[in-house]
Amino acid sequence: MKRRHFLMNFTAAVGGLVATKAIAKMEHTKMTGMTCELNSDDCNKGDNMHEHMNMNMNMNHDQKPQKLLPTSSLKQNDNLPSLINLKNESNQPGVFEATLHLKPVKIALTPEITTEFWAYNGMIPGPKIEVNEGDHVKITVKNDLPQATTVHWHGLLIPSNQDGNPQDAIPAGKSRVYEFDVPKGNAGTFWYHPHGHETVAEQVYRGLAGTFIVRSKDDPLNSLPEQHWFFSDLKLTDKGEIADNTMVDWMNGREGQFVLINGSYRPKIKVDSATRVRIWNACSGRYLNLSIPDCDVFLVGTDGGLLSEPVSLNKPLLLSPAERAEIVILPKKTGTVYLQSIGYDRGKMGNVPPEQDMLLAELDLTQSNSITLPSTLRTLPKLGQATAHKKLEYTEVMDMKEPRGGMLFLINGKRHDMNRIDLESKIHEVEEWTIHNNSHMDHNFHIHGAQFMVVSHEFNGTKTLPQYVALKDTVNLRPHETITIKIQQNMPGLRMYHCHIIEHETLGMMGQLMVK
To ligand C2O, the closest distance from the beta carbon of 435 in angstroms equals 15
Tell me which stretch binds Cu ion (CB under 5 A): 126-134, 313-321, 412-420, 439-447: 439-447
Task: Name which of residues 446 to 475 contact Cu ion (CB under 5 A).
Answer: 448
254 lines the binding site for Cu ion (CB under 5 A): no
To ligand C2O, the closest distance from the beta carbon of 215 in angstroms equals 21
Q: Compare residues 25 and 193 and give the one whose CB is closer to ligand C2O.
A: 193
From Cu ion, ligand C2O, none, interface partner of 248 (C-beta below 5 to 8 A by class): none
498 lines the binding site for Cu ion (CB under 5 A): no
Under DSSP, the state recorded for 43 is G
Q: What gap in Å lies between CA 393 and CA 377, rounded to an integer?
A: 35
Q: What gap in Å lies between CA 360 and CA 355, rounded to an integer?
A: 15
To ligand C2O, the closest distance from the beta carbon of 283 in angstroms equals 12
Output 452-460 pairs: Cβ under 8 A, ≥24 positions apart: 452/485, 452/486, 452/487, 453/380, 453/383, 453/485, 453/486, 453/487, 454/483, 454/484, 454/485, 455/483, 455/484, 455/485, 455/486, 456/483, 456/484, 457/481, 457/482, 457/483, 458/482, 458/483, 458/484
Burial of 336 (0-12, 13-18, 19+ CB in 10 A): exposed
From ligand C2O, Cu ion, none, interface partner of 329 (C-beta below 5 to 8 A by class): none
- Cβ atoms of 467 and 415 closer than 8 Å: no
To ligand C2O, the closest distance from the beta carbon of 505 in angstroms equals 7
To ligand C2O, the closest distance from the beta carbon of 451 in angstroms equals 13
From Cu ion, ligand C2O, none, interface partner of 322 (C-beta below 5 to 8 A by class): ligand C2O
From Cu ion, ligand C2O, none, interface partner of 390 (C-beta below 5 to 8 A by class): none
From Cu ion, ligand C2O, none, interface partner of 498 (C-beta below 5 to 8 A by class): ligand C2O
The neighbour count for residue 216, using CB atoms within 10 Å, is 18
Q: What gap in Å lies between CA 338 and CA 123, rounded to an integer?
A: 27
From Cu ion, ligand C2O, none, interface partner of 504 (C-beta below 5 to 8 A by class): Cu ion
From ligand C2O, Cu ion, none, interface partner of 102 (C-beta below 5 to 8 A by class): none
What is the Cβ-side half-sphere exposure of residue 361, based on CA atoms within 13 angstroms? Answer: 27
Measured CA distances, 142 to 128, 161, 165, 199, 397 (Å): 17, 18, 17, 17, 38
To Cu ion, the closest distance from the beta carbon of 474 in angstroms equals 8
Task: Name which of residues 80 to 99 contact Cu ion (CB under 5 A).
Answer: none
To ligand C2O, the closest distance from the beta carbon of 54 in angstroms equals 26
Closest CA to 162 of 501, 516, 495: 495
Burial of 112 (0-12, 13-18, 19+ CB in 10 A): exposed
Closest CA to 361 of 226, 265, 258, 262: 265
From ligand C2O, Cu ion, none, interface partner of 254 (C-beta below 5 to 8 A by class): none
Q: What gap in Å lies between CA 139 and CA 44, rounded to an integer?
A: 51
To ligand C2O, the closest distance from the beta carbon of 495 in angstroms equals 9
To Cu ion, the closest distance from the beta carbon of 504 in angstroms equals 3
Given 235, 254, 266, 504, the residue binding Cu ion (CB under 5 A): 504
- Report the interface residues with ligand C2O, using CB under 6 A: 152, 154, 193, 195, 322, 446, 448, 496, 498, 500
From Cu ion, ligand C2O, none, interface partner of 193 (C-beta below 5 to 8 A by class): ligand C2O
Given 119, 360, 485, 499, the residue binding Cu ion (CB under 5 A): 499
- Cβ atoms of 222 and 328 closer than 8 Å: no
To ligand C2O, the closest distance from the beta carbon of 50 in angstroms equals 28
In sequence order, the 6+-apart residues with CB closer than 8 A to the CB of 343 are: 289, 354, 355, 356, 357, 358
To ligand C2O, the closest distance from the beta carbon of 199 in angstroms equals 13
443 lines the binding site for Cu ion (CB under 5 A): yes
Report the run of H or E that residue 514 belongs to, with start and end: strand 510-515
Q: What gap in Å lies between CA 109 and CA 263, rounded to an integer?
A: 10
The DSSP secondary structure of 139-170, one letter per residue, reads: EEEEE-SSS-B-EEEET----GGGTT-TTS-B
From Cu ion, ligand C2O, none, interface partner of 499 (C-beta below 5 to 8 A by class): Cu ion
Q: Which residue is nearest to ligand C2O (CB)?
A: 154
Contact mark string toward Cu ion, 195..234, x via CB under 5 A:
----------------------------------------
Report the run of H or E that residue 341 belongs to, with start and end: strand 335-341
Contact mark string toward Cu ion, 139..178, x via CB under 5 A:
---------------x------------------------
- Cβ atoms of 254 and 285 closer than 8 Å: yes
Summarize as ranges the residues that interact with Cu ion (CB under 5 A).
154, 443, 448, 499, 501, 504
